[in-house]
Amino acid sequence: MPSVSEAATPNIVLILADDLGFTDIQPFASEISTPSLAALAENGVRFTNHHVAASCAPTRAMLLTGVDSHLNGVPNIPEAMPPSQLGRNGYDGVLSHQVQTVATLLRDRGYHTYVSGKWHLGKDPSRLPNQRGFERSVILAESGADNWSQRPYLPMYRTANWYKDDQPHQLPEEFYSSEYIVDQAIEQIDSQHGDGQAFFSYLAFQAVHIPVQAPAEYRAMYEAQYQQGWSALRQQRYRAAVAAGLVSSSTTLLEMDSTDDWDALTEDEQRDWARRMAVYAGMVQAMDHHIGRLVEYLKSIGEYDNTVFVFMSDNGPEPADPVGQFGLPFVLWMKAMGYNTDYETLGEPDSYVVIGSSFASAAASPLSYYKYYAGEGGLRVPMIIAGAGVELRGQLSSALTHVTDIVPTLLELSGASMPSAQYRQPTGKSLLPLLLGRDDRVRQEHETLGYELGGNAALFKGDYKLVKNLPPAGDGHWHLYNIVDDPGESLDLAASLPERFTEMQADYEDYVQRNGVLPVPDGYEQLRQVSRNSIMARKAEWMSALLVLFVLVYIGVRWRRKRAGA
C-alpha cells in the first residue's frame, strides 16, 4: 500500500457497527468468524483502548464532527432525554448547526461524499445528510428498525423512516439491512467512479442492534456454539483476549450482577437463549460478509490500494429486553406489528430477537458493564484502521484513543482543512503518528478526557479512569481504576490513591463546566425514560386503545349478564 506521502488524497471508507461488543469480531479474540475484518486487521492497526459514548447517536455525532457530544447537540439520544433537559443548553438530540461534519470538510477538499445506513442525527430538512456535507445518501433516520422490512422496532415510532437524499425512500420487497447498506454504498461509489476525485463512504450498519436478525444459514453456523451459556462464553473470551494481548495478563474478570444463573434455567430456556446468541453471531458474520463484498468491489475497480478503512462500533452490546422492560403492552404491539419470538425461525423475517444483559456481558468480555453505562464494556469497543497511509501492519495499539480522534485523523490523512472559526473545533487528536509508527500514544499523562451520558460519567487521565454508574446496574458512587492493568475494573483505588481520586474529581467538574453538562433528574434511568417517552409520543393512540379495550370489556360483561338472566 502507498504511504501517506504517496497518496495525498486517499479514498476513505468509514464503517460503523451498531451495539457490537469488545470481543465480538475475530481480530478481537471472538469465536465469530469475520474473515473480512481479520484481513483488514492484518493490513493495519487494532486499537485495544478505544472509547466511544455508551449510546448510539452521541457517538455518531462525535464520529462525524470530532466535537464532544455536549457541544455538538447530541449529549443523549432524544428517545431517552428527560423533559427537564430537552432543548436546554444544547440538549437537542439532533446535530447542531454550530458544527461541521467531516463530510463537509472532505467535500471542500474535492471528495465525493456518500452515506448509507443508520443516521439518527435528525430528520428535519436541515439535518438530513444532504445538508450536512453528503453528496448522496440512503439512510434510516431513527435509532433502529427491522432488518427484513420497512417496519419500526419500538412503539414510539409509527414507521421506519428511510430517506434517499432529501426524499422519503421506500425499501424494496427483497431487503436485508447489511446487504442493502453495502449495495447502496457500491452504487454510490460506482456512479461517479473514474472522474479523478477521491471518495468518502460512510457505512452505518444496523448490525447488531435489536431486533437481532440474520439469515438462517448464518445462524446455523453457530447452533452448537453457545450451549454452555453466557458465563462460559464470558470466561472463554476473557482467556482469548488475554492470550491475544488485547488486555493485560493481570486483568481480573468480574461476574456482573445482572448475569443470570444459566444452570437455573430449564432445558427449553437454555435452548432458546443459545439460539438467540447464535442469531447474534450470524448477524455479525453476515455484516462481515457484506463488508467483504465492498472490499472486493474496490479491488475490482482498482481503488483498494488507495483506500483507508476505519472500522469501529458505536457502543458496547445491548442489554435491553423490551418484553421484560415494557411487559404486556410491548407484547401486544409486537403482535400487531407481525413480530414473533418463535424458536424455529429465530432471526428470520418477522422474528424479534434480543440477547439480554447476560449474553451482553459475554459480548463485552473481559470488560464490565455494557451499552448505556460508563463501564469499559459500554465505552471500549473494537477499532481497526487499515490501508492507505497506515505504515504499521498487523499490530496492536494500547494507546488511549477516543471517537473524537477520527475526524482530525481523516483530515490529516486527506489534507483537508479544519472547520472555519465560526464553527466549534474538533476536540480530539490525530492518530496519524500512531499509524505511521512515530509515537505510541496520543495523550500525555496530564491530559484529561471527560465523558457523561444520562448521568453515567467518567474521566480518563493517564492510565487511570474515574467512573460513576447509576442504578440499576451501578451503585451511583465514584470509583477509580487503573484501566491498563485492570480493564475489568475490579479493584477500586479510590481509598489507596486519595490524592489522585480528588484531583480527577476536580478535573471532571472542570469538564462539566466547560462542556455545559446538565444533571439528570433524581432516579433517572435511561431505559425507563425511553419507556416514558414512548408512552408520551403516542399518548393519544394508547388512550384510544385503552378506551376501545374498556368498551369491549363492558360489552362482554353486559352480554354475559344478559345470558345469565335469560
Helices (H) and strands (E) in the chain, counts: 16, 16
Q: Which are the contacts of 408, defined by CB distance < 8 A and separation ≥ 6?
A: 66, 418, 426, 428, 429, 430, 431
Return d(Cα 556, Cα 560) in angstroms, integer: 6
Active-site hit among 56, 112, 289, 402: 56
Q: Which are the contacts of 355, defined by CB distance < 8 A and separation ≥ 6?
A: 212, 273, 276, 277, 280, 317, 318, 363
User: Position of cell 338472566?
Assistant: 565
User: Nearest-CA neighbor of 453 among 85, 122, 98, 119?
Assistant: 85
Q: What DSSP state is assigned to residue 79? A: G
User: Position of cell 475489568?
Assistant: 488
User: Nearest-CA neighbor of 159 among 132, 205, 123?
Assistant: 123
User: Position of cell 464470558?
Assistant: 234
Return d(Cα 55, Cα 140) in angstroms, integer: 17
Is 120 in the active site? yes
Active-site hit among 120, 209, 289, 290: 120
User: Nearest-CA neighbor of 112 among 203, 167, 193, 15?
Assistant: 193
User: Nearest-CA neighbor of 333 among 560, 541, 188?
Assistant: 541
Q: Report whether 379 contacts 458 (CB < 8 A).
A: yes
User: Nearest-CA neighbor of 405 among 39, 65, 100?
Assistant: 65
- Which residues are known catalytic residues? 56, 120
